[in-house]
Structures are given as C-alpha cells and as structure tokens.
Amino acid sequence: MSHRRQVALVVEGHGEVQALPLLVRRILAERGHTATVTKPHRIQRSRMLSELRRAVSLHRARVGEDGLVLIVFDADDCDAGVAAGGALDVAADGHPVAVCVAVREYEAWFLSALESLASHRAVCDDAAYEEDPELRRGAKEQLRDRMTEPYRETIHQPAFSQLMDLTVARRRSPSFAGLCHTLWQWAGDEGHGT
C-alpha cells in the first residue's frame, strides 16, 4: 500500500511542462503508486547547470523528505551518462534527486512506441518506426514525417505522453526504461521487468 508523496520536476522544454507530469503519473500508476506531481520548473538548456542547484533546493523544500526532485532533459549529442552525472554532481547533496536523460530527445520515446500513437488524429494510420529510436538525433523530424499535421511540442507532447504504450517504449528505449525504473525505485518498487 503506497501513500501519496510528491514529485517535483525540473525540465528544459516547453512541451515537457505539460507532458512530463502526465507521463510520471502514468508510470507510477502502472505499479499502483500515486504521487502529487508539481508543475515543472523549466530551465533553458543553456542555463541548466548554472540554475540547477537553486531550482533543486527550492523544490526539495516543497516536496519534503520523502519526496523526489526529478530532473529530465535531452541528451542531444552528449553522452547521456556524462550529462546525467554532471547534472547530479551540481544538484545532489544527500537528498533524493534523480536525473533522467532522454537519448537523444524526448520525442525518441514517442518513436519507440509510435504504432500506439496511430489512434491520434495527428498521426498517420500506418505510422511505424523500425530503427533504433535512440541511435541518432532528429526524432522530432522523424515523428513529423509520420504525422498529418505539423508537430508542436506544447500540443503533441502531452497528448502523446498520455497515449503511448509504456511497455513497448520501455522495451525499445533504454533511457525511457531508466525513467520508469527510477520512479518505481523511489516509490518502493524495484520495478524489474516490464
């Protein structure tokens, strides 16, 4: 039996401000956990490291001792492990802080479960993506090529985050699987398996 704790989010993109709380709640609900997810604190990528410590300190006070501050950003062309380690070095000081880096972009998570998005009016009925979604940059462009309208982060990220098949995304995207396992572990569920 889990109790409702809080998750505070620090993100880099406008789309994640609406999308990531939905996704976090869905991931936790898969294992029967609930959490209050605060409105994300957005920091532009160019200022991420310089403003991260202040943002984390602010949100740590809001979520309390058993809450979690979760930092999520795109790796782009950086090594995800190095990027996550750098952010964790800046932000962590003994309190629960987690860093999850989307390889290479948040949209790669959508590509990993693209077939499950075909029921959305903006996605082509036969949409599929057979390649490794984390292999190279350009996930937004690949996604756009499989849509019936222009991709807009603030509109499509929340909708797709609510609709995507989480099990398929975990199987095809190691960085998405890492996000899920981080949340489950914090909630007290080791989360092994899909």
Q: Does residue 159 form part of some domain?
A: yes
The answer to whether the beta carbons of residues 149 and 117 sit under 8 Å apart is no
Q: Does residue 172 form part of some domain?
A: yes
Name, in order, each residue with C-beta under 8 angstroms of 60's C-beta and a sequence gap of 6 or more.
8, 67, 69, 95, 97
Tell me the C-alpha to C-alpha distance, in Å, between residue 33 and each of 2, 9, 98.
6, 17, 18
| Domain interval for residue 18 | 5-186
Q: For residue range 118-175, what is the model confidence (pLDDT) as tens digits?
A: 999 999 999 999 999 999 889 999 999 999 999 999 999 999 999 999 999 999 999 9
Tell me the C-alpha to C-alpha distance, in Å, between residue 69 and each of 4, 42, 58.
15, 13, 10
- Structure letter (DSSP) for residue 121: T
Q: Does residue 72 form part of some domain?
A: yes
Q: Does residue 193 form part of some domain?
A: no
Q: Does residue 192 form part of some domain?
A: no
Q: Does residue 167 form part of some domain?
A: yes
Average pLDDT over residues 8-20: 95
Region of 2 (left: φ > 0; alpha: ψ -120 to 50; beta: rest) is beta
Q: For residue range 45-98, what is the model confidence (pLDDT) as tens digits?
A: 888 878 988 999 899 989 988 899 999 999 888 877 777 777 777 776 666 789
Total domain count for the chain? 1
* Distance (Å, whole) CA 11 – CA 74: 9
2 pLDDT more than 70: no
Q: Does residue 194 form part of some domain?
A: no
